[in-house]
Each structure stands twice: as C-alpha cells, then as structure tokens.
Amino acid sequence: MTGPPEVLDCRGQRCPLPVIALARRLPQLPVGSVLRVLADDPAAANDIPAWCRMRGQEYAGSPAEHAYDVRRVA
C-alpha cells in the first residue's frame, strides 16, 4: 500500500476510548490499509498492540510519539 495512512485522532481521550475508536474504524477500511491512531493516553502504547493481537490485526509500529499504526489484515 502507498499513500499516507488514514488518521484517527484520539488525543485527549482516556483508555479504553482510543481502542474502541480503533475497533470501530478499522473494519470500515479495505484489507491491507493502515490506520494511524493518535493517542496520548499512556495506556494506548500497550493496549493498541494488545488489541491487534487479540483481534488478529497487524500492529505496524509507532512512527512517532503518541502515534500507532495498525494494518487491517483480517
């Protein structure tokens, strides 16, 4: 996939809200696309990769502070 990923801005939201927003948005994107979640809650760094593992999606890393990329694979 090329092009900038879609961005989901969850800054200012406390966990589990960023994970809920991710769970709502990702299935609306085509398989293979990347969603960038912006979240400054300290739990997001842990819970977004954990959600990906539980849901069989791919955690594609953190390109910057408070940013987390998730690729839809399922």
Partner 1 sequence: MAEAYFDAAAAAPLHPVARQALLAALEDGWADPGKLYAQARRARQLLEAAQAAVAQVLGVRPEEVTFTASGTAAAQAAVLGGLAGRQRAGRVLVHSAIEHSAVLHVAERQEAVAVPVDRLGRLDLQAWGAAVRRPGVALAALISASHEVGTVQPVAAAADLCDAAGVPLYVDAAQSVGRVPVPGGWSILSASAHKWGGPPGVGVLVVRKGVRWEPPARSGPPDLPAIVAAAAALRAVAADAEAEAARLSALVDRIRATVAATVPDVEVVGDPVDRLPHLVTFSVLYVDGEALLHALDRRGFAVSSGSSCTSDTLRPSHVLEAMGVLSHGNVRVSLHRETTPEQVDEFLAVLPDVVASLRAEAGVLDL
Is 10 annotated in the active site?
Answer: no
> Which of residues 21 and 34 has its CB atom nearest to partner 1 in the complex?
21
Give dist(CA 55, CA 11) in Å, integer. 23
Give dist(CA 33, CA 65) in Å, integer. 21
Q: What amino acid is encoded at 36 in this protein? A: R
> Which of residues 3 and 68 has its CB atom nearest to partner 1 in the complex?
68
Considering 13, 15, 55, 62, which one is annotated as catalytic?
15
Q: How many other C-beta atoms are found inside a 10 Å radius of the C-beta of residue 64?
A: 9
Phi, psi (rounded to 5 degrees) for 39: -150, 130
Q: Which of residues 12-71 bind partner 1 (CB under 8 A)?
A: 14-16, 19-20, 23-24, 41-43, 45-47, 49-51, 54
- Which residues in this chain contact partner 1 in the complex, by CB under 8 A? 14-16, 19-20, 23-24, 41-43, 45-47, 49-51, 54
